[in-house]
Structure formats: structure tokens, C-alpha cells
Amino acid sequence: MTQIVTGDTAPQFTLPAIDGSTFNMADMKGKRVILTFFRFSTCPLCNMRIRRIVQRWNEFSKDAVMVAVFDAKVGELQKRMKKHDAPFVVVADETYEQFNKNGVKKSFFKFMWGALRSPLTLLQATLRGYVPLTLSISKLSTIPVDILIDEEGKVVEAHYCKDTADHLSLDRMIAFSNGA
């Protein structure tokens, strides 16, 4: 359960995507990739994050690839992501293997801190119908990770979020996708 750091080779995995295909990270060589380990499919903060990315997707490079990894069964994830119509890859890590392999941490304290410091986002999420349908402490306590990977398959930046509401800024992700 080693954390990824700048200069590491990108994580290699093959996971089922919500469009019915199988996503293979090895196929991404030559592309800039934004890889995010989210939490579970009904996580309100994750769903708001996906919504905000979709809203600004036109600002991302047409050549960039975003991969959203969720701790979920693919069928459940397909159902939950329908309301987003995400223009990027959404995959299910049904066994939590990739979360474990890539140093994704769990912390009930960080989960609670993220929830407490983002009441407006939680309210917006609730009003949009993004209601957590899990009471599993294990799933609730997962802390997201954002990873930027260059065309050579090397990690440019690995952001292990401070809590459930923390992520790389969308501006940073957009700039990276456009070559900055």
C-alpha cells in the first residue's frame, strides 16, 4: 500500500467501464491522463465533483483522458452515473484491489472533517439527489486521490487528498490537460 509519488510509472490496471468496455491503462501511453480514485458511487461529494468536471469539460484538452475509479460494482456505478453523462472514462474497482495497490487511505476523522468543512457542497449534493446510500464505515472513510500522468506514462503529480472534500483544483487539472 505504497503511495504514488512524482516520477513513478503510472499505475497499470484493467477495469470494467460503465460504457460496457474494459479500460486498460496500458493503452493510455502517449496521452495525458488525469486519474482519480473517488469513493463509492453514491458519495455526495464525489458526485458533485463529477458534476463540476462535466460542467467544465469543454476547457480540457480534446486529447486528455480522465479516468474516474470508484469503489463499486459496475452495474451499480452505471446506474448512479447516468445522471452525469460523463464524457470521460468511469470504471469500477469491484474488489478494491487498485485502491489498495495505489496507497489510497481510509480515515474516519478525515471523512468527518471533509463533511464538516463542506456543508454547502453537501447541501447542493442533497438537493441534486446525491444521497449516500451506504452506511459502511469502510466505504465512507476512503479518502480520494488525484494523479496526473504524462504522455510517457510517468506521474507528474500525485495528490493524496487531505480529506473527502479536498482535490486538485479544476484549474490545475485543466492546465495539465492542456500541456501546462
Separation CA 132–CA 157 (nearest Å)? 29
pLDDT of residue 92: 98
Domain containing residue 70: 14-21+30-177
Query: What does the pLDDT average to over 17-44?
Result: 95
pLDDT of residue 116: 66
Query: What does the pLDDT average to over 11-17?
Result: 97
Number of domains within the chain = 1
Q: Which of 28, 81, 87 is nearest to 55 (CA)?
A: 87
Report percent pLDDT > 90 for the chain: 70
Q: Residue 115 domain-assigned?
A: yes
pLDDT higher at 168 or 163 = 168
pLDDT of residue 124: 72
Average pLDDT, the chain: 90
Q: Which of 87-91, 133-137, 154-158, 175-179 has the lowest mean pLDDT?
A: 133-137
Separation CA 163–CA 110 (nearest Å)? 5
Q: Residue 165 domain-assigned?
A: yes
CATH number at residue 55: 3.40.30.10
pLDDT of residue 118: 74
Q: Which three cell numbers stand for residue 49?
A: 465533483
Separation CA 105–CA 102 (nearest Å)? 9
Q: Residue 65 domain-assigned?
A: yes
Q: How confident is the model at residue 42 (pLDDT cuts 50, 70, 90)?
A: confident
Q: Which three cell numbers stand for residue 60?
A: 480540457
Query: What does the pLDDT average to over 34-47?
Result: 92
pLDDT of residue 137: 59
Using one digit for the tens of pLDDT, what is the confidence trace for 146-161?
A: 999 999 999 999 999 9
pLDDT of residue 43: 85
Separation CA 15–CA 84 (nearest Å)? 20
Separation CA 170–CA 2 (nearest Å)? 26
Separation CA 136–CA 133 (nearest Å)? 9
Number of C-alpha atoms within 13 angstroms, CB side, residue 65?
21
pLDDT of residue 156: 97
Q: Residue 2 domain-assigned?
A: no
**Within 10 A of 118 (CB to CB), how many other CB atoms are there?**
19
**Within 10 A of 68 (CB to CB), how many other CB atoms are there?**
24
The residues pairing with 106 across neighbouring beta strands, listed in sequence order, are 142
